[in-house]
Amino acid sequence: MATASGTFTRFISPSGVSPLGVSAVLGAWMLIVILPLLGLVLWSFLKLENFQLVWEPTLQAYRDLLSSGRWEVTVRTLRIAAIVTLIELALAVPFAVWLAKGTRSVPVKVITLAALTIPFFLSLSARTIVWRAVLGLNGPINSALMSLGLIDQPLDWLLFSEFAVIVGLIGPYFPPMVFPLYLAVTLIGDELLAASKDLGASPAFTFRHVILPLALPGLGAGFIFTFIPMIGDPVVPELLGGGQVVVLASSVKSLLQVLNYTVAAALSVFMLAIMVGLAAILTLVLRGRVRRQST
Amino acid sequence: MKSKKVSNISRRSVLKAGAAVLATPYLISRPARADEGTVKIMGVSTVALQDWSAFEADTGLKMDFVGVNSDPGLYVQEVVANEAGDSYDIFIFDGGIEDRLGASGHFQKIDPAAMKLWGAVADSVKSSALLQGADGTQYGVPIVFNADSFGYHVDAISEAEPFSWGMVFENEKMLGKVALEDTWLTTLPNAALYLISKGKAITDPSNMTPEEAKMTADFLIERKKAGQFRALWHSYEESVDLLGNREVLIAECWEPVIKQLQRDGKNVRYASMKEGYSKWMIGAYLPSQAKDERLARAYKALDWFLDGHYGAQMAIQQGYATANPQAALAFAKAKGLSEADLGAIKLNIEKVEQKMTLPHYWQNSAPQHVEAIEAEWQRFKQA
């Protein structure tokens, strides 16, 4: 191709791009992304009877979504994922800053990074099931609290509750939050921190106005690696929720076991709508901030 | 009445929906076309033996057993959409599925004359609703079955057996001390048995109408709000764990769970019930594609399942019942097995005769209103 033989520095204006290429990308996009989504939306307006699709538009799947309380499952899943992500942020940001800039000792860094990696060699269920012994009615926490005389009945909300699920999720999703943050903070030049200090900035001021803005890409990546997979993870909620903290993944699995594709599709469309809504709110808020700053 | 356009879920539409991903393990493991001396079975793992060498020695056939889980949806998809009957000689699955797949022509009628041992099977067993179509056509051969109830710590209950299901579902002394199985398949009908004993109108606990399912779920939600249930378990190990470390004192569970805990020295028992049991039946079904030599091979294999070796192994290892227990006993005696093993088989004969006589109910993995029942179950879990 003529344009490709030039150097990479040469700018190709949109009008100079081959229309063939544009339509190829557009076609692939339609085929891979838009078409399946449309299929999903279509299925959500049909219904199943005796494992058979009834080709007749209906809102039945959405009514089922409301009457079976499945919409609440979506909201709960997002809530749990958001709470855990916030906890991870609060824990991971100081940890990553310390690991990247706070400690100069190489052995400490190596050991810490290894400690963050090693748990991945064990399956998530194996790591999670341990919490049941710890948080159970006859577990060490309840025993300790009772022998200290702080409680006279074991606390039953420690296990098989949303609390237990949140506690259980913190461990597995800590490394995916720390690693991108650690990389981002490592990339901040020491001279920037020194300059900030020389100009009289307090550590808090440096953190707020130098480290945080520069670590933002790491923060974004950390958010994506924790929040998004957590939405689709049934392992911890099933093991520690005792079947009473239902999340999206389990709900969809249960639907697919009886081949109820239409309600599964409606659930996915509902989820999609929430995500689009959240993204829209975020965009509006950010745009508002940018406008305020530029005036 | 308005006519509805109904289409079978064809292979194509399933692929289109992306749902084929779910069946991928089966698709990949699908064996190539049958060779003459092999019987290919797609069956639930419960019925599998670790070692099929006795089968191969007795019948001269090779066994190719592909294990699947008890997901009726996936199973229907394999049989209907993926035409598994082309390559498998026998399907072994939780009974109930034959109402639909028999009527749709995917399973063929059983020919009693083709098996030597059919006559040795008790009528109460082979006439199970889980082996016959809605019109009474015999589609299934009984392989393994049992009557499930709940396990409990003996020191926690002062009353004597037999119990009411109210012990599990409405028991003020056991608030927060009860574990349920996390499935609509058993827990909803068990609760329905209790409601029937309280005078509620439910025709068939294992094939409830949407209204009956709603009533049962409402009751369960009320008991959940009262704090009756500690947890819902999903796996064998979980139920062993919950009951074993006294996280709960009563657990709806499978009989092998109690066998294991007793071996570990726990003072637990498997309850006998007043109202009825969660009776299940795993049947063997023949695909309509099986004909001539292939069909003869399948019947030869089924005859082996009805004979003593298989029955003895199941009774000793799992405590599960099989169709021809007398043959199992005769086999065990002829082989000179230990008194303990003989005892396990005899106990099984007695227990099953006693439990199977109660009218309610046969587990049904494919009730008519499965979508509504699953939704009601989710509503309970969500509440």
Residues B319-334 have pLDDT tens digits of 888 989 899 999 999 9
d(CA B259, CA B42): 28
Domain map of chain A by residue range? 80-259
| CA gap B227, B39 in Å, rounded | 51
Helix, strand, coil percentages (3-state) for chain A, rounded to 5, are 75, 0, 25
Find out whether the peptide bond into B162 is cis, omega within 30 degrees of 0.
yes
Give the residue-averaged pLDDT of A45-70: 81
Q: What percent of chain B has pLDDT over 90?
A: 60
Q: Which of A51, A137, A243 minimises the CB distance to B381?
A: A243
Q: pLDDT digit string (tens) for A125-184?
A: 888 988 998 999 989 999 999 999 999 989 989 999 999 999 999 999 999 999 999 999
**Cβ contacts of B247 on chain A, cutoff 8 Å:** 132, 136-138, 159
Fold for B11-146+279-334, please state it.
D-Maltodextrin-Binding Protein; domain 2 (3.40.190)
Interface contact flag, B378 A70, Cβ < 8 Å: yes
Contact B5 A55 (CB under 8 A): yes
Of B7, B180, B247, the CB nearest to A53: B7
Give residue A12's pLDDT.
62
So what's the pLDDT on residue B270?
A: 92
Pairs across A and B, CB distance < 8 A: 116
User: What is the SS3 string spanning B328-378?
Assistant: HHHHHHHCCCCHHHHHHHHHHHHHHHHHHCCCCCECCCCCCCHHHHHHHHH
Say yes or no: do domains B11-146+279-334 and B150-276 share a fold.
yes
When the pLDDT of each residue in chain B is averaged and rounded to a whole number, the result is: 87
Instruction: Provide the residue ranges of all domains of chain B, joining segments of one domain with +.
Output: 11-146+279-334, 150-276
- Compute the mean pLDDT over every residue in chain A, rounded to the nearest whole number: 86
Record: contact B230-A242, CB cut-off 8 A = yes
User: What contacts B216, CB < 8 A, 6 or more positions away?
Assistant: B188, B191, B192, B195, B202, B208, B376
**Res. B16: pLDDT tops 70:** no
Read off the DSSP letter of residue B273.
Answer: B
Mean predicted confidence (pLDDT) in A183-208: 92
Q: Which of B22, B97, B247 to mutate to test the interface with A (most CBs of A within 10 A)?
A: B247
**pLDDT exceeds 70 at position B36:** yes
Q: Strand pairing of A52-54 and B6-7?
A: antiparallel
Mutate to test the interface with B, among A157, A259, A263 (most CBs of B within 10 A): A259
**ipTM exceeds 0.90:** no
Q: What residues contact residue A263 under an 8 Å CB cut-off, 6+ apart? A: A61, A64, A65, A68, A70, A255, B371, B375
Look up residue B96 and give its DSSP letter.
T
Residue B27's pLDDT band (cuts 50, 70, 90): very low
Q: Is B48 an interface residue toward A (CB < 8 Å)?
A: no
**Is residue B158 less than 8 Å (CB to CB) from chain A?**
no
Residues of A with CB below 8 A from B230's CB?
Answer: 156, 160, 242
Residue A4 structure tokens: 């490709």
The pLDDT tens digits for B159-177 are 998 999 999 999 999 999 9
Q: How far is CA B89 from CA A214, B63, B151, B292, in A?
A: 65, 11, 38, 11
- For residue B214, the surrounding DSSP H or E stretch is helix B210-225
Residues in chain A with CB shorter than 8 Å from the CB of B73 are: 51, 256-260
Q: What is the CATH number of domain A80-259?
A: 1.10.3720.10
Start-to-end Cα distance in chain B: 37
**Fold entry, domain B150-276:** D-Maltodextrin-Binding Protein; domain 2 (3.40.190)
Residues of A in contact with B234 (CB under 8 A): 238, 243
